[in-house]
Amino acid sequence: MNDVISWVIVVVILLSSGLILISKDWRYQLGALALQYLAAFWLVTRHQPFVIGSVKLVTGWMVVTVLGMTRLGLDENAQTTSTPENRGFPTALVLVIAFLAFGVAPRIEAAMPGLGLPVITGGLLLIGAGLMQLGLTSNILRVVISLLTLLIGFEIIYAAIENSILVTGLLASVNLGLGLLGAYLLLAGRTSLAIDPEEETE
Amino acid sequence: MNAAVIWILIPLLAGLLTLLFAPERFSAILGGALAVLLALTALIFPIDTALLIGNFSLKISASVQVLGRSFTFGVADGPLLAAIYGISALWFFGTQASGTSNRFVSLGLMIVALLTASIAVEPFLFAALILEIAAMLVIVLLVPPYQKPQRGIIRFIIYQTLAMPLILFSGWILAGVEAGPGNLSMTTQAGTMLGLGFAFLLAIFPLNNWIPLLAEEAPPYAMGFLLWALPTFTLIFALDFFDRYTWLRTSQQFSSAMQIAGVLTMTSAGLFAATQKQLGRLMAYAAIAEAGLVLLAFTVQSTEIVNLIFLLLIPRGLELAVWALGLSILKRESYALKFEELRGVARKYPIAVGAIVIAHLSMLGFPLLAGFPARLALAQELAPHALPILFWVYLSMAGLLIGLARSLTVFVLAPEGAAWKLAEDWVQVVMLGVGAIGLFILGIFPQTLQPFIAQLPTLFKHLGQ
């Protein structure tokens, strides 16, 4: 039963990665990112205790919230996306990533037995989608979402081989840091310089 | 007392408190004084050794447990910590002269504390994660709230973030290879991933295009700090890898790959430096060239490898501090730091221009300056085995020299009759003067670094023994 759910989760990862690549609306992208964190929670708990998976889920959703709240405060035209107009190209990329991930996963499972095919496939899909997205955009929000996608993929696979609590904590800090950094960079240059009247008179 | 508390937790908290509460005008003094205090503590009190002072017994314990893993400093870490916090103090004191806000001191303290944690964490592999967190803090330093982020900063985040998974995965595979060294294909994969990870972190050619872009966008003083801090700790991390895995030390393939990468990085940086028309980019290319030089130092098959690498790294902190401070002062004259806006600036800012020239000369290895002894020692080590490489090293230096000659021409190209002035304030003159004198002292008397360098090989079990 768990295996079936894991494969369903892999399909969710594929769809959410595709949505991030294809969609131009930041709301859908952040929604898809939140789904990816949920998927990561399930796949991480295949090898790690429930608590560790929960840490990743809670951190991830905090990151999504931070980015969402920040983006909500900006005007709609801010940060126009640089994704190609034609949606066929990103769709083709998603398919290429899917073929690669499903093709390579059995080989990795053979080289490192015990990780589990769904875990490897899900991780590779996310890493591939993150890398593809990074190559397509220079938009700050999309870059941050791509890096987070890539990190989720890495964390899913790494959780299967490393069970240190310190690593979990540090990875959570990296995720949260990227989210906060993304929010900072989205806001940078939009706030006017506040001049202290006392300093001005000096 | 615990070493991790003193050299990690205290500066981390101090950075946070400075950010929240310290008045702008005192932050440089507070941060600098704390860094000096930490450097002196590291120099005077040996770690994990009981000292009897009167009736009191004082011992700084070496290790602390955090979430099941330890942060450990050894006796040999003392001089390294002294050097790190000593150079940090110079950067923090210089913030007042550079006109940087107190964000620099507070974030700088936190960054140095995190980077120090990266050399103490056990297993050492987890340092990759701490370096990533430190890199994120550096970004806040590089992008002021009023400035829109440009391409350079985005590439920087991407490259730093890509490095972390590559290094963690390769470390895990190498641990497996260590257990069963027969699996050659795994070794190659691990080596490739590791090489790529460090290429991203150290900005090895061609993954260094973010540095010149960022040098053009970011405040020069913050950029100089980035070019000193992150590569220094990344190289210590790389030395740990070298020390830990025999395969990396003995692999001829890996050594050749590093030589090629070093030569390409150095030569390309030298050639690009010769054609630059922006002073920030010139500093960036000099730093890139030096990264290539350090890579070449990694290929030296000698017990002197550790000494050689630290002999390159320690003066680098001072060189970049002087150069970046000089640029920060000139930035008031020309925000873009472009050649066409800086004609004859030597007449108005003679001390800043002089300091920039001295720092530039030092970074290209000019005799009597801090960069010279390390380059001479490296050339002596490389000459018997890899003489052709020296040709490329000198070609790179020639490129940097042409860059200097072009900028010097611009600096002195004043309109006829322009009067000499001293537009720098006394703090700036003192800081630049001390820095420039320091560069001469390290060049003429390199043995002054001996107390810091002598014990450093004992940080590593196999390297330099």
Q: Which residues of A touch B132 (CB under 8 A)?
A: 174, 177
Most distant CA pair in chain A: distance in Å? Answer: 72
Question: Do B90 and B212 lie in a common domain?
Answer: no
Of the three residues B63, B87, B122, the one that is the final residue of a domain is: B122
Q: Are B201 and B160 within 8 A, CB to CB?
A: yes
pLDDT band at A79 (very low <50, low <70, confident <90, very high): low
In the DSSP assignment, the letter for residue B436 is H
Q: Report d(CA B65, CA B81) in Å as an integer.
A: 20
The answer on pLDDT for B424 being more than 90 is no
* B9 assigned to some structural domain: yes
Backbone torsions φ then ψ of B121, nearest 5 degrees: -70, 140
Out of A160-164, B61-65, B184-188, least confident range: B184-188
Residue predicted with more confidence, A157 or A83: A157
Contact status of A109 with chain B (Cβ, < 8 Å): no
Query: Taking CB atoms and an 8 Å limit, are B68 and A170 in contact across chains?
Result: no
Of the three residues B122, B155, B176, the one that is the final residue of a domain is: B122
The one-letter amino acid at B453: I
Contact status of A77 with chain B (Cβ, < 8 Å): no
Q: Report d(CA B101, CA B426) in Å as an integer.
A: 19
Task: Please tell me which of the candidates A111, A158, A189 has its beta carbon nearest to residue B146.
Answer: A189
Q: Report d(CA A61, CA A34) in Å as an integer.
A: 6
Looking at CA atoms only, how far is residue A177 from chain B in angstroms?
A: 7
Measuring CA to CA, which residue among A199, A185, A113, A162 is closest to residue B155?
Answer: A185
Looking at CA atoms only, how far is residue A95 from chain B in angstroms?
A: 23
pLDDT tens digits, one per residue of B123-132: 888 889 999 9
Task: Please tell me which of the candidates B66, B126, B154 has its beta carbon nearest to residue A143.
Answer: B154
The encoded tokens of residue B170 equal 């390769």
pLDDT band at A196 (very low <50, low <70, confident <90, very high): very low
Question: Do B155 and B117 lie in a common domain?
Answer: no
Q: Which residues of B touch A187 (CB under 8 A)?
A: 145
Looking at CA atoms only, how far is residue B120 from chain A in angstroms?
A: 14
How would you class A201 by CB atoms within 10 Å of its CB: exposed for 0-12, middle for 13-18, buried for 19 or more? Answer: exposed
Q: Which residues of B touch A141 (CB under 8 A)?
A: none
pLDDT band at B399 (very low <50, low <70, confident <90, very high): very high
pLDDT tens digits, one per residue of B221-276: 999 999 999 999 999 889 888 888 887 888 888 888 899 999 999 999 999 999 99
The answer on pLDDT for B185 being more than 50 is yes
Question: Do B325 and B444 lie in a common domain?
Answer: yes
Count up the domains in chain B and report the number: 2
Residues in chain B: 465
The answer on pLDDT for B102 being more than 80 is no
Domain extent for B31: 1-122
Query: Taking CB atoms and an 8 Å limit, are A147 and B161 in contact across chains?
Result: yes
Task: Please tell me which of the candidates B129, B158, B172 has its beta carbon nearest to residue A170.
Answer: B129
What is the DSSP pairing of strand B56-58 with strand B51-53? Answer: antiparallel
Residue A146's pLDDT is: 94
Q: How many helices (H) and strands (E) would you count in chain A?
A: 8, 0
Residue B306's pLDDT is: 87
* B464 assigned to some structural domain: no
Residue predicted with more confidence, B185 or B266: B266
Contact status of A147 with chain B (Cβ, < 8 Å): yes
- Cis link prior to B123 (omega < 30° from 0)? yes
* B131 assigned to some structural domain: no
Query: Taking CB atoms and an 8 Å limit, are B158 and A143 in contact across chains?
Result: yes
Q: Computed from CA positions of residues B409, B439, B371, B338, in that sequence, does the dihedral angle turn out positive or negative?
A: negative
Looking at CA atoms only, how far is residue A157 from chain B in angstroms?
A: 10
* B460 assigned to some structural domain: no
The encoded tokens of residue B365 equal 């290895």
Question: Do B219 and B109 lie in a common domain?
Answer: no
pLDDT band at B220 (very low <50, low <70, confident <90, very high): very high
Residue B269's pLDDT is: 94
Percent of chain B with pLDDT over 70: 98
Contact status of B64 with chain A (Cβ, < 8 Å): no
Q: Which residues of A touch B163 (CB under 8 A)?
A: none
Measuring CA to CA, which residue among B116, B44, B106, B122 is closest to residue B81?
Answer: B116
Out of A65-79, B7-21, B100-114, B346-360, least confident range: A65-79
Q: Report d(CA A127, CA A149) in Å as an integer.
A: 7
Question: Do B207 and B238 lie in a common domain?
Answer: yes
Contact status of A139 with chain B (Cβ, < 8 Å): no
pLDDT tens digits, one per residue of B55-97: 788 888 888 888 888 888 888 888 899 999 999 999 999 888 8
The encoded tokens of residue A29 equal 């992208």
Task: Please tell me which of the candidates B132, B149, B172 has its beta carbon nearest to residue A185.
Answer: B149
Name the region of B447 (left: φ>0; alpha: ψ -120 to 50; beta: rest). Answer: alpha
pLDDT band at A113 (very low <50, low <70, confident <90, very high): confident
pLDDT band at B465 (very low <50, low <70, confident <90, very high): low
pLDDT tens digits, one per residue of A1-26: 778 898 999 999 999 999 998 888 89
Question: Do B58 and B115 lie in a common domain?
Answer: yes
The encoded tokens of residue A136 equal 């397509």
Task: Please tell me which of the candidates B148, B158, B161 has its beta carbon nearest to residue A189.
Answer: B148
Question: Do B185 and B299 lie in a common domain?
Answer: yes
What average pLDDT does chain B have? 88
Residue A80's pLDDT is: 52
Question: Do B197 and B334 lie in a common domain?
Answer: yes
Residue B66's pLDDT is: 85
Q: Report d(CA B220, CA B217) in Å as an integer.
A: 9
Percent of chain B with pLDDT over 90: 49
Q: Are A137 and A60 within 8 A, CB to CB?
A: no
Residue B68's pLDDT is: 81
Question: Do B114 and B154 lie in a common domain?
Answer: no
Contact status of A49 with chain B (Cβ, < 8 Å): no
pLDDT tens digits, one per residue of B44-66: 888 888 877 777 888 888 888 88
What is the DSSP pairing of strand B121-122 with strand B69-72? Answer: antiparallel
Strand order in the sheet with B63-66: B63-66, B69-72, B121-122
Looking at CA atoms only, how far is residue B159 from chain A in angstroms?
A: 10
Task: Please tell me which of the candidates B136, B148, B161 has its beta carbon nearest to residue A188.
Answer: B148
Backbone torsions φ then ψ of B58, nearest 5 degrees: -120, 130
In the DSSP assignment, the letter for residue B420 is P
Question: Do B101 and B153 lie in a common domain?
Answer: no
Q: Quickly list H helices, B101-219.
A: 102-120, 127-142, 151-179, 184-202, 210-217
The encoded tokens of residue A141 equal 């929000």
Query: What is the distance in angstroms between the CA of the first residue and the CA of the last residue of chain B?
Result: 31
* B239 assigned to some structural domain: yes
Residue B183's pLDDT is: 67
Average pLDDT over residues B394-419: 90
Question: Do B64 and B153 lie in a common domain?
Answer: no
The encoded tokens of residue B352 equal 């800043």
Residue predicted with more confidence, A113 or B280: B280
Average pLDDT over residues B286-303: 90
Average pLDDT over residues A41-57: 92
Contact status of A187 with chain B (Cβ, < 8 Å): yes
Q: Report d(CA B219, CA B332) in Å as an integer.
A: 11
Average pLDDT over residues B374-393: 89
pLDDT band at B159 (very low <50, low <70, confident <90, very high): very high
* B461 assigned to some structural domain: no
pLDDT band at A111 (very low <50, low <70, confident <90, very high): confident
Q: In terms of CA atoms, which chain B residue is nearest residue A158? A: B169
* B293 assigned to some structural domain: yes
Report the range out of B63-67, B174-178, B323-327 with the highest average pLDDT: B323-327
Q: Report d(CA B6, CA B71) in Å as an integer.
A: 12
Three-state DSSP class for B455? coil
Measuring CA to CA, which residue among B285, B274, B271 is closest to residue B406?
Answer: B274
Residue B246's pLDDT is: 80
Task: Please tell me which of the candidates B66, B121, B154 has its beta carbon nearest to residue A140.
Answer: B154
Question: Do B296 and B244 lie in a common domain?
Answer: yes
Looking at CA atoms only, how far is residue A180 from chain B in angstroms?
A: 10
Query: Taking CB atoms and an 8 Å limit, are B146 and A193 in contact across chains?
Result: yes
In the DSSP assignment, the letter for residue B47 is B
pLDDT tens digits, one per residue of B301-315: 877 888 889 999 989
Residue B181's pLDDT is: 58
